Amino acid sequence: MATIERAGSRGGIVQRVGGWLDSRFGISALAYPVPRHANALAYTLGGVTMGSFVLLVATGIYLAQVYDPTPAGAHASIVELSGGGFGAVLRSLHFWLSGIFIVTLTLHLLRTFATAAYKAPREGIWLTGVALFTLGGGLLFTGTILKWDQEAFEAFGHNIEIAELLGVFGFLFSPEFTDSVSLLTRTYVAHVSILPLLLAGLVGVHVLLVKRLRISPAPFGTPEEAERREREEPRLPFTTHLARLLYWTLVALGIALVLAALRPTGIGPEGVEGIEITKPPWYFLWLYPLENWFGLRALVVMPALLLAGLAALPFVDRSRERDPRRRRAWMAFGSAVLVLWIFLTIYGFNTIPVSHVGEM
């Protein structure tokens, strides 16, 4: 009660509301100390990804009100939504936010790799992060299918073929799983409830682990120097970090809005089964040439290899070194993987698509 009265006696309305909230929800407990380097942009990328996810959920709630998740109505409902006005803006905003989400998520992963923040005792943070990366990929894939145009049809066809390839493990993702609900509707359920719920829960675990094990120290110098610097580094309240996260999330929203205004998201024609005349979205384009060279199995094997490699990383690289300049072999390996990914993406973009049609 005394706290409430104190809060009420303060000046501005913002302080009074803040005091009211704090006395009931203990918000001031968030002002625990964090090292100053945590406020650098490189250490804010995970929070911006989370902010983008919240905005994606908000825009997704709107989109769910007008989207028809049945094979007969899905495409027409997206075309109608894209017809103009703010519905089209909101769909474009959702699209561009998803791009920002995957870019910041990937940059966050790369920063964690470069600063060796996956090393003991933070293996759990890294593993939950890899799982979040996988779920993010799942959200992008299911989102691609929902628009139900030719590109979506082809992604959907790949989904079915991969499910068949996986046998028992792919049964859940095949049309044979149930006759009563179409696979498109089930994909929609995965996109709007199963995957976001899993992601939100896992983000909670990820964040709690960061809180428990602390933000990783700045990596430069020998392990001893890094430890000493960690002890001596000035501390700031975590709320200053939160404020930065909110501002950077506002930057993400601003960029997405400007892009939605300048480049509204479009849609392709109604899908036709059994043909292949589109290319995947840019974030899956690296798989396109691999499928051309090695067949459908590459779509299972290559992502599985990538994820298994990421998951195994903290158990393979067990030295105490964190400085990127002192981990040249690992940095060279990581750079090679990144360059290969960029090369495959550009190659996939430039591959002549017509050669693919006749092979189906």
Residues that bind another protein (CB under 8 A): 14, 36, 39, 58-59, 62, 66, 75-76, 79-80, 82-90, 92-93, 149-151, 234, 236-237, 240, 243-244, 246-248, 250-251, 253-262, 264-270, 272, 274-279, 352-354, 357-358, 360
CB of 70 to another protein, least distance (A): 16
Burial class (CB in 10 A: 0-12, 13-18, 19+), 279: middle
DSSP secondary structure, 110-134, as one string: HHHHHTTTTSTT-HHHHHHHHHHHH
Q: Which CB, 86 or 293, lies closer to another protein?
A: 86
Q: Is the dihedral of CA 226, 229, 231, 233 positive or negative?
A: negative
CB of 16 to another protein, least distance (A): 13
CB of 319 to another protein, least distance (A): 32
Q: Which CB, 202 or 236, lies closer to another protein?
A: 236
Residues 107 and 94: their CA atoms lie apart, in Å, by 20
Q: Which two tokens stand for residue 336?
A: 């090679």
Q: Are 195 and 204 in contact (CB under 8 A)?
A: no
User: Residue 5 is which amino acid?
Assistant: E
Q: Which CB, 339 or 357, lies closer to another protein?
A: 357
Q: Which CB, 4 or 250, lies closer to another protein?
A: 250
Q: Which CB, 129 or 348, lies closer to another protein?
A: 348
CB of 297 to another protein, least distance (A): 21
CB of 260 to another protein, least distance (A): 5
CB of 160 to another protein, least distance (A): 16
Of the candidates 69, 56, 57, the one whose C-alpha atom is nearest the C-alpha of residue 146 is 69
Q: Which CB, 126 or 154, lies closer to another protein?
A: 154
Half-sphere exposure of residue 278, counting CA atoms within 13 Å on the CB side?
Answer: 24
CB of 88 to another protein, least distance (A): 4
Q: Which two tokens stand for residue 254?
A: 């601003």
Q: Which CB, 305 or 346, lies closer to another protein?
A: 346
Residues 352 and 343: their CA atoms lie apart, in Å, by 16
Q: What distances in angstroms separate CA 45 from CA 101, 112, 174, 209, 348, one per listed residue? A: 10, 10, 36, 17, 28
